[in-house]
């Protein structure tokens, strides 16, 4: 209809009307584009909010995974202390030997958290969302993503080395298989299979290779705990950054 009006005005050589109609067309196009941009920005903001909320849940999951591993470390600390003191003093006692054997069992537990990164990776790959983030959060986001990758690599490295030098591979250590299966799936239940010393304690405590493997394993074992404690604090800090960024939306 507007095109027909412009054609009629051209035929009539009503140039003022032609220019007016032309500006009306241009204004309509600009308004339509602006509305489209507003809708896109609004849609991106809603999408970003959902993405940030999903990342916050993932961080909570990762913190929970860390807490489970740290709880495992805490439960075994007393046994580890007693076993180490017994080896250092080369002083046998049934209680200390039992503690040492429980420590051997604990050290085969999986202490490498399988961190969740689905929502984090999705946001990292969406540039139209990244542009809406504050500069401060972008820095926090990059720091957390980098630390998460580093922790995964370092924990895997420590865990692999812990296994390759593990005291459970030593000739003085053997697996015990009971006639009645216990609840081996429960880390606190040692009535099922376990590891035992198959040599007199006096020989084991004087065995330099056993002592060296044991202290190396403890080193990697405790290094994992320290790294997880530090990363847990950093993950909690990142979660606060997410909450602050959501407050800006």
pLDDT tens readout for residues 9-49:
445 555 555 555 666 667 666 776 676 566 556 666 888 89
- pLDDT at 188 exceeding the cut of 50: no
> Is 1 part of any domain?
no
Asked whether the predicted pLDDT for residue 183 surpasses 70, the reply is no
pLDDT at position 62 over 60: yes
Residue 8 has pLDDT above 90, yes or no: no
Domains held by the chain: number: 1
Question: What confidence score (pLDDT) does residue 194 get?
Answer: 78
Average pLDDT, the chain: 81
**Is the residue at 7 inside a domain?**
no
pLDDT for 27 equals 66
Q: Please tell me which residue, 189 or 138, carries the higher pLDDT value.
A: 138
Residue 4 included in any domain:
no
Q: Return the minimum-mean-pLDDT range out of 52-56, 69-73, 158-162, 170-174.
A: 158-162
What would the mean pLDDT of 235-246 be, rounded to a whole number? 95
More confident residue, 2 or 62: 62
The pair of structure tokens assigned to 177 is 């298989």
224 within domain boundaries: yes
> Per-residue pLDDT averaged across 68-93, rounded?
90
Residue 111 confidence (pLDDT): 80
Please state, in angstroms and rounded to a whole number, the distance separating the CA atoms of residues 49 and 137: 13
Angle of helix 15-89 versus helix 208-247 axis, rounded to 10? 150
80 in any annotated domain: yes
Whether residue 3 lies inside any domain: the answer is no
Q: How sure is the predictor about 159, in pLDDT bands with cuts at 50, 70 and 90?
A: confident
The reported pLDDT for the residue numbered 191 is 58
> With pLDDT > 70 as the criterion, what percentage of the chain qualifies?
76
User: What is the per-residue pLDDT across 110-132, written as a single tens digit (0 to 9) for each?
Assistant: 788 889 999 999 998 888 888 88
State the sign of the Cα–Cα–Cα–Cα dihedral 29, 34, 35, 36: positive
pLDDT of amino acid 187: 45
Asked if the model's pLDDT at residue 170 lies above 60, the reply is: yes
Segment 236-243 mean pLDDT: 96
6 assigned to some structural domain: no
Higher pLDDT, 78 or 191: 78
- This prediction has a pTM of 0.74
Residue 49 domain-assigned (yes or no): yes
List the domain range (segments joined by +) for residue 213: 13-247
pLDDT, residue 233, reads 96
What pLDDT, on the 0 to 100 scale, is given for residue 120? 94
State yes or no: pLDDT of 134 exceeds 50. Answer: yes
């Amino acid at each position: 209809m507007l095109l027909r009006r412009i054609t009629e005005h051209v035929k009539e050589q009503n140039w003022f009307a032609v220019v007016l109609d032309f500006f009306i067309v241009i204004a309509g196009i600009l308004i339509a584009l602006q509305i489209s941009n507003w809708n896109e920005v609004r849609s991106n903001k809603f999408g970003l909010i959902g993405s940030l909320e999903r990342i916050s849940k993932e961080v909570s999951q990762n913190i929970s995974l860390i807490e489970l591993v740290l709880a495992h470390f805490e439960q075994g600390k007393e046994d580890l202390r007693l076993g180490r003191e017994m080896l250092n003093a080369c002083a046998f006692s049934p209680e200390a030997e039992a503690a040492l054997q429980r420590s051997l069992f604990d050290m085969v537990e999986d202490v490498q958290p399988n961190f969740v990164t689905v929502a984090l990776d999705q946001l990292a790959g969406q540039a139209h969302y990244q542009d809406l983030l504050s500069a401060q959060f972008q820095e926090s986001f990059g720091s957390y993503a980098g630390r998460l990758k580093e922790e995964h690599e370092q924990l895997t490295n420590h865990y692999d080395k812990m296994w390759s030098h593990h005291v459970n591979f030593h000739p003085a250590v053997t697996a015990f298989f009971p006639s009645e299966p216990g609840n081996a799936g429960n880390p606190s239940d040692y009535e099922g299979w376990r590891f035992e010393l198959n040599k007199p304690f006096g020989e084991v405590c004087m065995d330099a290779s056993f002592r060296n493997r044991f202290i190396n394993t403890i080193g990697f074992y405790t290094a994992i705990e320290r790294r997880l404690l530090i990363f847990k604090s950093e993950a909690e800090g990142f979660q606060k950054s997410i909450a602050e960024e959501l407050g800006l939306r």
